[in-house]
Structure 1
Amino acid sequence: MTKARALLAVLALPLLAGCGFRPLYATPDMPKGAMQAKLRSIYVEPIPEKTGYQMRTRLIDLIDGQGEARGASYYLRVNLTIHAEAIGVQSQTTASGITQTAITRYNDTLKAEYELIDPATGNPVTKGVETGLTAYNVLSSPYATLANQQDADRRAAEDIADRIRINLAVYFAEQAKK
């Protein structure tokens, strides 16, 4: 059965060429390795707060970037905001007839506005906005709730960092066509 699948895959390859599919990092207008070199030349400016630090670290890892501004061809400036919204509320009536209401779930919306800046001119060459939504439960322990929130926000920040890297790679691929 595996030989039949392999043969089918080989026969389907010419169909992919006809549909216009091409890998982002294999842009014919750019020499081999040029896309990675462009991404490596980006300095990611520090982003405030713990979640911002985690996003910056993820971006540096994804683009295989440098941690210092010296020699960078571009600066990436990211403004990260987090908005928390209570979405789950639970009411309980005690034996004495008092109704208590407690928040049981939150949604955090992360919004990253980014600009890729040419240090020679100080002007942005491309910019964009990426958002992420994350949810977490409120637990009986405040520490556990905080840990839930931080973990959820970290995962959302890393997802946004992935999308920013893809957007930057698309920008560089489009610039190579010009």
Structure 2
Amino acid sequence: MSWRSVHWIILIAVLNSLGGCGFKPLYSSNPTSGNGIIQQLSVINIDPIRDRVGQQLRNYLIDILTPTGRPQAPHYVLKVVLEETRSNMVILRDATSTFAKVKIKAHFKLNSLSSNSTLVNKTTESTTVFNIVESEYANITAQHDARRRAVHAIGDNIKLTLALFFGQRDQQPKDTR
């Protein structure tokens, strides 16, 4: 038997064992309840977020949570508050800097509109860096790109946190009294 055949046999055995251990993809739909995570995410209304970076985050969240458009009958509202800091990292003898760090922290809450209760209350943050050069235009562009990368990382973290919340909530046993 060749090594290639052994690799295929091992791969098939591993894939078959995943089904037996209860592995379930995070974004799969739940055929028994019809409330897949993607459907739950699509009924979230995202409140406006202050400042330009907040607007970019809100637009990114709309793209990844509700790609078909604003929900007609939202079940949840997502509120986000951002804090941004920039610090120069490598300071030379002439008091100039060649490296900067942008840190964006997001405090977010998911509230249920039906029960008026807070379901998720978390904080996530992202830190990105960029080089400082002599061209002011290049510095502005690099800082904008660092912010964009941080916003995308925060948006992805928020989506993952909400998906995990809905996935765990759907797996909890229902009260059948």
Q: TM-score range by the shorter chain?
A: 0.7 to 0.9
Q: CA deviation at 1:52?
A: 1.6
How high is the TM-score relative to the length of structure 2? 0.83
- In the alignment, does 2:78 pair up with 1:76? yes
Q: Is 161-170 or 11-20 further displaced after alignment?
A: 11-20
User: Counting strand residues as a fraction of each chain, which structure ranks higher?
Assistant: 1
The 3-state SS of whatever aligns with 2:97 is strand
CA distance in 2 between counterparts of 1:47 and 1:137 reads: 28
Gaps of at least 5 residues in structure 1 are 92-99
- In the alignment, does 2:133 pair up with 1:131? no
Deviations 1:118-159 (A, max 9, x none): 123433111111011111111212221111011011111101
CA distance in 1 between counterparts of 2:147 and 2:11 reads: 40
* Count of residue correspondences: 170
Q: Is 161-170 or 49-58 further displaced after alignment?
A: 49-58
**Could you tell me which of 111, 115, 119 is aligned with 2:109?**
115
Q: Is 37-46 or 9-18 further displaced after alignment?
A: 9-18
Q: CA deviation at 1:78?
A: 0.7
Q: CA deviation at 1:7?
A: 3.8
Q: 1:120 to 1:89 in 2, by over 3 A?
A: same
Code of the residue aligned with 2:58 in structure 1: it is R
Q: Percent identity?
A: 26
Give 1:101's aligned residue: 95
Code of the residue aligned with 1:167 in structure 2: it is T
* 1:43/1:67 contact within 8 Å kept: no
- In the alignment, does 2:141 pair up with 1:147? yes
Gaps of at least 5 residues in structure 2 are 173-177
Give 2:165's aligned residue: 171
* 1:43/1:65 contact within 8 Å kept: no
Q: 1:52 to 1:41 in 2, by over 3 A?
A: same
Code of the residue aligned with 2:48 in structure 1: it is P
Deviations 1:10-57 (A, max 9, x none): 222233235553321237686456211100000111112222222112
* 1:104/1:139 contact within 8 Å kept: yes
Code of the residue aligned with 1:74 in structure 2: it is Y
CA distance in 2 between counterparts of 1:127 and 1:151 reads: 28
